[in-house]
């Protein structure tokens, strides 16, 4: 079932839960997530604020709320989520992204390393740590990030191997063609989810395959809008800045550079009602 198909069911179930208990935080978060997935930022923000008013110690609520905020405020929310639940891999991951978006690459190493400890089986953990090291021009450490991975699935193993080879090729250009072939084989796979697709895009950018990435990016952003909300500031996209095709996607999906629209009367009422 696609996200578009799932959202109506999510709304129905959440509204049923709220009819029984208007203070159901999980249901409020589910509705906020549905609003966010549909680009309704103001409505999502209002729902998250209500959830936090009911349960300020809910780490997930802080994480969800952060997505609707300007970067520095989002960083504060993600830091609070990490404080409340340091073993929450999503909290650590979101903090990595926010600090990287702010250009705080050295601080981003702390949650990136924590994420690697918490979720070593995920190729995405290694990719995030490698990219953070690369942003700090620590290319040898970027390669070593993949040695810390413990992939379990066949896809994760292939991603880790391609990631290691890609960052090795930065140190040894003779490996560039081999790395390019490995990443191209990955791109042709039919089992890539949005996270794996992003990992492949990261490797292609590291190999200078900007044109290929620009061809894939519209599909990626359409499949997971929230992942493209920081196109204007995420350092992953630095090689694409200035390209008209990329700037069109920034205009379509980026939320960091845009103020949130005013909440509807219904959303404002929902946020303030007991």
Closest Cα to residue 48, out of 72, 85, 73, 16? 73
Domain segments of the chain: what residues?
1-70+264-274
pLDDT tens-digit readout, 77-87: 999 999 999 99
Q: How far apart are CA 97 and CA 182, in angstroms?
A: 26
Percent share of the chain, pLDDT over 70: 92
Write down the pLDDT at residue 18.
Answer: 93
Question: 51 by DSSP, 3-state: which?
Answer: helix
pLDDT tens-digit readout, 163-211: 999 999 999 999 999 999 999 999 999 999 999 999 999 999 999 999 9
Closest Cα to residue 194, out of 216, 167, 214, 209? 216
> Which of 3.90.960.10, 3.40.190.10, 1.25.40.10, 1.10.645.10 would CATH assign to domain 1-70+264-274?
1.25.40.10
Write down the pLDDT at residue 1.
Answer: 59
Closest Cα to residue 149, out of 182, 193, 198, 116? 116
């Amino acid at each position: 079932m696609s996200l578009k198909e799932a959202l109506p069911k999510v709304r129905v179930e959440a509204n049923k839960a709220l009819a029984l208990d208007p203070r159901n935080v999980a249901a409020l978060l589910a509705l906020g997530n549905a609003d966010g997935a549909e680009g309704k930022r103001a409505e999502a923000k209002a729902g998250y604020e209500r959830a936090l008013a009911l349960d300020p110690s809910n780490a997930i609520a802080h994480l969800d709320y952060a997505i609707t905020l300007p970067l520095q405020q989002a960083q504060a929310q993600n830091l609070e989520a990490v404080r409340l639940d340091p073993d929450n891999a999503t909290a650590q991951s979101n903090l990595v992204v926010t600090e990287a978006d702010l250009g705080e690459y050295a601080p981003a190493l702390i949650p990136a390393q924590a994420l690697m400890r918490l979720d070593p089986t995920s190729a995405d953990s290694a990719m995030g740590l490698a990219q953070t090291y690369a942003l700090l021009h620590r290319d040898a450490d970027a390669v070593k990030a993949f040695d810390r991975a413990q992939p379990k699935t066949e896809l994760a193993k292939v991603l880790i191997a391609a990631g290691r080879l890609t960052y090795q090729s930065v140190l040894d250009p003779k490996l560039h063609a081999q790395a390019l072939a490995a990443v191209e084989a990955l791109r042709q796979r039919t089992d890539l989810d949005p996270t794996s697709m992003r990992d492949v895009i990261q490797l292609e950018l590291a190999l200078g395959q900007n044109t290929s990435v620009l061809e894939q990016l519209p599909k990626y952003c359409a499949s997971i809008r929230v992942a493209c909300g920081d196109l204007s500031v995420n350092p992953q996209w630095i090689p694409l800045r200035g390209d008209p095709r990329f700037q069109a996607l920034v205009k379509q999906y980026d939320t960091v550079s845009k103020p949130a629209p005013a909440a509807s009367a219904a959303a404002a009422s929902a946020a303030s009602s007991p």
